[in-house]
Structure 1
Amino acid sequence: MKTILLDLDGTLIQTTEIILDTFKETLDKFFPHLELKDEELTNLLGQTLYKTFGFYTDDQDEVDKIVEHYRLISNQKIENGLKAYPGAVETLKYLKSKNCTIGIVTSKMRKVALYHLELTGLIDYIDGLIGYEDVIHHKPNPEPVEKALELFNADKKTTVYVGDHENDIIAAKKAGISSCAVTYSHRLKACLNEQPEFVIDELTNLKDFV
């Protein structure tokens, strides 16, 4: 592989628990009578915030207010200790030493994604990023992955997209590139149901791809 595309949350940086906790607090505030099981809560992962909270109200002003509240809580939690997954820096350094192109494909807003990469010490290894504002259609639509392929002028045959959500696997397959799931995903069963070409237990396993 020559081009390694990575999802951000739950794949490269340890935000999944923060996201789930923030979802719980936000939903408790705005929809106090709503009770979600763990599986229903993880169903909220991997989508844009506007789509997620749009499931619970048709009032766009209310959605805007909910998203603002969510981001406030999330930012406070992240400032208190956001970390990359084990082996992230070591792996990205190795991939760069092999002249690989490393890109991020995320549904997160660009400035937030870049800030999180900076906080976790990963930003210097990233060649480019496709974020929320860069596309019209979000994962599982292939547009974000296709934008990354265009950005890097990448060969589909030597490009892989690594993610922790079934939407990542679906988007990669629709874009015509290899897909890779991580076993530390909260959505592993759903990921495996989409039959990714590769499955890794930890980020350092990516060294075997090049």
Structure 2
Amino acid sequence: MTKITTLLFDLDGTLINTNELIISSFLHTLNHYFPEQFKREDVYAFMGPSLTETFTKLDEERAEEMMNHYRAFNIENHDALVTEFEGVFETIRTLKENGYKMAIVSTKLRDTVIKGLKLTNLYQFFDVIVGLDDVTHPKPDPEPLRKALEALGSKPEEAIMIGDNYHDIEGGQNTGTLTAGVAWSIKGREFLETFHPDYMLETMPDLLDILEIGETRK
């Protein structure tokens, strides 16, 4: 087996807990454009794909307007609703200290990715960020993962794509990386397992065990 040198991370729902922010942003927008038609659980299906994909399917003519409405609310409420997942900071710090190359590959706009990373003090650990506005085709298309790997000077077989949604797993599979799902995904472990990731993380420090990094849980 080729030695793993590179880790590609999704952001939302994987490294930072933006679930409440995303759900609230969707409900705020949907209730404005489609009053009383959507409940909280209806929003889960929209989490993962790009906003363009989601809102275009709902109403192609008003998609841009809805995205702007969503993003305005999202930015305004970002810092109040975003929280950290347990063990993430310590794990990412340990990976950095052990020389792993790391990138964020997200379907969010780059500036919003950076906002979340800075809020949770993770920005210092990532040399490469690939956001929605950096690519033509978002995950699960291999373009964003290939772009991140190229920037890091890594090959697909040296990397693991880690994420909470099928876009991450299929994106890794389409690119030729190993894949890891996170059991804390809002869609549930069972949902992710149907896409056959190579690994399933119960907590983020499990990644250290997979990579056989000894000194870990500080």
Q: Is 2:45 the counterpart of 1:43?
A: yes
Letter in 1 for 2:182: V
Residue deviations 1:133-156, cap 9 Å, x none? 111111111111111111111132
Asked whether the 8 Å contact 2:27–2:38 carries over to 1, the reply is: no
TM-score (norm 1): 0.93
Letter in 1 for 2:77: K
Instruction: Give, in whole Å, the separation in 2 of the partners of 1:79 and 1:159.
Output: 31
Asked whether the 8 Å contact 1:103–1:128 carries over to 2, the reply is: yes
2:95 matched to which residue of 1? Answer: 95
Q: 1:36 offset after TM fit, Å? A: 4.7
Letter in 1 for 2:93: K
Q: Is 2:175 the counterpart of 1:184?
A: no
After TM superposition, the runs of 4+ consecutive aligned structure 1 residues lying more than 3 A away are none
Q: 1:37 offset after TM fit, Å? A: 6.7
Q: 1:35 offset after TM fit, Å? A: 3.2
Q: 1:55 offset after TM fit, Å? A: 1.3
Instruction: Give, in whole Å, the separation in 2 of the partners of 1:102 and 1:126.
Output: 6
Letter in 1 for 2:195: E
Residue deviations 1:64-91, cap 9 Å, x none? 2211111121122212242221111101
1:25 matched to which residue of 2? Answer: 28
Instruction: Give, in whole Å, the separation in 2 of the partners of 1:156 and 1:107.
Output: 20
Instruction: Give, in whole Å, the separation in 2 of the partners of 1:35 and 1:199.
Output: 31
TM-score (norm 2): 0.90
Letter in 2 for 1:190: F
2:203 matched to which residue of 1? Answer: 202
Residue deviations 1:21-72, cap 9 Å, x none? 211121011111523572x42110111112111112121xx22221111112
Ranges in structure 1 where 5+ consecutive residues have no aligned partner: none
Q: Is 2:18 the counterpart of 1:15?
A: yes
Ranges in structure 2 where 5+ consecutive residues have no aligned partner: 212-218
Percent identical pairs in the alignment equals 29
